[in-house]
Every structure is written in structure tokens, then in C-alpha cells.
Structure 1
Amino acid sequence: MKILVITGSPRRKGTSAILAEQFTAGAESVGHTVVRFDAALKKVAPCVACSYCKRHEGECALKDDMANLIPDLIAAEMVVFVTPLYYSGMSAQLKAVIDRFYSINSILRATPKQAILLSAGADKDLWPMEAQETHFRAIFRYLKWQFRGSLLAVGVHERQDIEQTGYPRKAWALGEKAGVK
């Protein structure tokens, strides 16, 4: 299976990064092909709602790293979104990527995909994570993608916090089970 992992954290070794690393290792251990796009480390401008893409067969007026992501996004059978929890939602860097899906909206909605959410946050309460998951579920429903689950790591502010939990192992296991119905 072709899996695209899109991360949204600006911290290369943060808590959500370990979830992405472990998910990827688990998925690759059973033969899946994984491509990773670190949105916060790339140049991706927010959509400016110019509709240039609608007049130019999906080509965006903004010339940035999103052009490199589009072929992998179209080819992926599963898309895994990985983000830290920021004020009950995803990072701005990840949101910019998702908003830019607009340029190929009709392709994405017509291409069956599976989707997973991995998120980590310092808050010990689960309800902010649940708000974020609800938002992602709405995005997946709109895209007509099958929601295959989430891993919501709470109470983990720093990498050493999450390393002392079962969350990395759970991310690995989710990767191993990717695509299994």
C-alpha cells in the first residue's frame, strides 16, 4: 500500500514526530511504501482563494513545495495526518496544506483513500483532542475518505514525556495494521 504521512510540527524531534516515525516504521515493517512530507519544514503558503487552479486544470498560482506533494497525495491509498495539538486544533502548517487540497479537490473526492490522525499534546484532558478529531472526521467525510482511526497522545509536552508512555508502541502497531480491514 502507498501511504503518505503529512506532518505539521515545526519541531523535528517533538512528540508528534515520534508518532510519525513509529507509524512509518511499523508500516514499512510489513511492506508498505511510505512517503513523508513535513509541512512545517517546507515552503507551503496558505490558499489565497484566487481560483487560478479552477481555470488551469488544478495548477496552483502559488509556486512552492505543495507542487512536490500533489503527485504523492494523488497516488496515496492512505493519508496519515500527524500534528501537535494547538488550541484544540491542528498546527497552522498542516492546515495550510489541507486548504491547498482545493486545487485538486475533485480528484481527491473521486479517489478512494483511507485516513488516519496521529496527534500529541501537552494537555492532560482528552476533550481538546476530541475536538480536533471531530474536525478531521469532517474533512475526511467531505473528501469521501474512510476514517481508519486515530492515536491521540495526551499529557506529553516533550519528547521524553512521550517516550515514557505506550504511545510510540501504539503508533508502530497502527502502522503495522495500516490497510488491514
Structure 2
Amino acid sequence: MSSIIVFHASSRHQGNTTTIANYLSKQLSATAIDLSDHEIAPFSYEDNYPATDDFMGLIKQTIDADQWVLVTPVYWYTMSAQMKTFLDRFSDLLRYHQEFLPALTGKHLWTIAVGSDSEAVPHFFTPFRLSADYLAMDYGGDLHTWLGRTLTMKPEVQILLDQFVENIIAKSNSF
């Protein structure tokens, strides 16, 4: 079985996104990383760059994982600011740290959205699919979930998550 990292990022440390991320990491025996616990500065083209924050440390810590799962709330019809900043910082690898790019090739990227209702936002997952393609990663799939105003797992969401976990495990067993 391959190694799996669950990255999640939300403005609430103990909110719905964390509930989903913790469930996933337990079911997958994966390492969960709350991006909000790390200082990640925005990407910059300035001469005094690259930044001296936590981004490259996270990449070095997780680059060997075969599968990456990104879990984000839906904020204003898109991903959280923390997740967007994290994805933007992959520009560091393209511009300053190209030695890490080959390690991304063929890794599997999965995405889960955590909304407030059961209806998914159209085209929400497009940036994730296109980013995976651009980085030569295999986009494994995506899932829209919702918990509403409670941190309790809804039975229908748990069923969807369990099916999603089965897909990730099946992909893991193919390594």
C-alpha cells in the first residue's frame, strides 16, 4: 500500500473540513496536515524571494507520499484562501526548486470539497484537475461533501466518503 497525505485548510480549526479530514486520515491510515497550522506566504516574483516560511519544509516532508488528498471548504464558490496559497506556492517548484518536480510525476491527487449544502458548485474542481495535469500528477478524482451547521457526520456523507476511500485504497494497492 502507498503512503497518503491529507492536506486540509479552513478558517476554523475544528470545523467541518477538519471533521472530514480526520475521518479520511483515520480510514486511510494517512498523515493529516492542517495547512492553517503552518506559515505559508503568498508566491512572489521579487528578487528577495523565495520565502523563508514553512512551504518547502512541507514539500520535503511530504514529497515521498504516493497520494495527496486535498480537503477544503467551499468559500465564495472556490477553495479556502489557505489552500489557494498552498497551490500557488507550487510555482516555487517551477521557478526555484525544479529538482522536486520529477518526484510529483505520477503521484495521485484527490480533492474533497466541504460545502454547507448537498449541491456541488459547478466547476469547483477544475483548478485542482488542471493543476494536477500541469504538474504531471494523476488526478484520482473528487468528491463534494456537506455537513451543514453540525460537526456530526451525516450517514449519506459517510457512505460517499467510504466509497471515496475505497477508490483511494484500490489505487494504493496498484502500486
Under a length normalisation based on structure 2, what TM-score does the superposition of the two structures give? 0.82
CA contact (8 A) 1:20 1:82 kept: yes
Query: Percent identity among equivalent residues?
Result: 25
Determine the structure 2 residue equivalent to 1:38. Answer: 34
Which shifted more, 104-113 or 40-49? 104-113
Which residue identity does 2:139 align to in structure 1? F
Determine the structure 1 residue equivalent to 2:150. Answer: 159
- After superposition, the C-alpha distances for 1:94-118 in whole angstroms (9 at most, x for unaligned) are 1111111122234336522001101
More helix by share: 1
CA contact (8 A) 2:118 2:145 kept: no
Q: Following the alignment from structure 1 to structure 2, what is the Cα–Cα distance between the partners of residues 93 and 84?
A: 10
Structure 1 residue 136 corresponds to structure 2 residue 136: no
CA contact (8 A) 1:23 1:173 kept: no
Under a length normalisation based on structure 1, what TM-score does the superposition of the two structures give? 0.79
Structure 1 residue 149 corresponds to structure 2 residue 144: no
What is the CA distance between 1:172 and its match in structure 2?
4.1
Gaps of 5+ in 2: none
Determine the structure 1 residue equivalent to 2:69. Answer: 80
Which residue identity does 2:135 align to in structure 1? L
Q: Following the alignment from structure 1 to structure 2, what is the Cα–Cα distance between the partners of residues 174 and 139?
A: 20
- What SS class does the counterpart of residue 148 from structure 1 fall into? strand
Among candidates 99, 121, 128, match of residue 88 of structure 2 = 99
Which residue identity does 1:153 align to in structure 2? T
Count of residue pairs the alignment pairs up? 165
Determine the structure 1 residue equivalent to 2:14. Answer: 13
CA contact (8 A) 1:19 1:168 kept: no
What is the CA distance between 1:35 and its match in structure 2?
2.4
- What SS class does the counterpart of residue 123 from structure 2 fall into? helix
Larger relative contact order (Cα-Cα within 8 Å, sequence gap ≥ 6): 1
Gaps of 5+ in 1: 29-33, 53-59
Which residue identity does 2:25 align to in structure 1? T
Which residue identity does 1:21 align to in structure 2? N
Structure 1 residue 170 corresponds to structure 2 residue 123: no
CA RMSD of aligned residues (A): 2.2
Determine the structure 1 residue equivalent to 2:113. Answer: 119
What is the CA distance between 1:123 and its match in structure 2?
4.1
Which residue identity does 2:140 align to in structure 1? R
Determine the structure 2 residue equivalent to 1:108. Answer: 101
Q: Following the alignment from structure 1 to structure 2, what is the Cα–Cα distance between the partners of residues 26 and 115?
A: 17
Q: Following the alignment from structure 2 to structure 1, what is the Cα–Cα distance between the partners of residues 72 and 136?
A: 21
Q: Following the alignment from structure 2 to structure 1, what is the Cα–Cα distance between the partners of residues 113 and 47?
A: 31
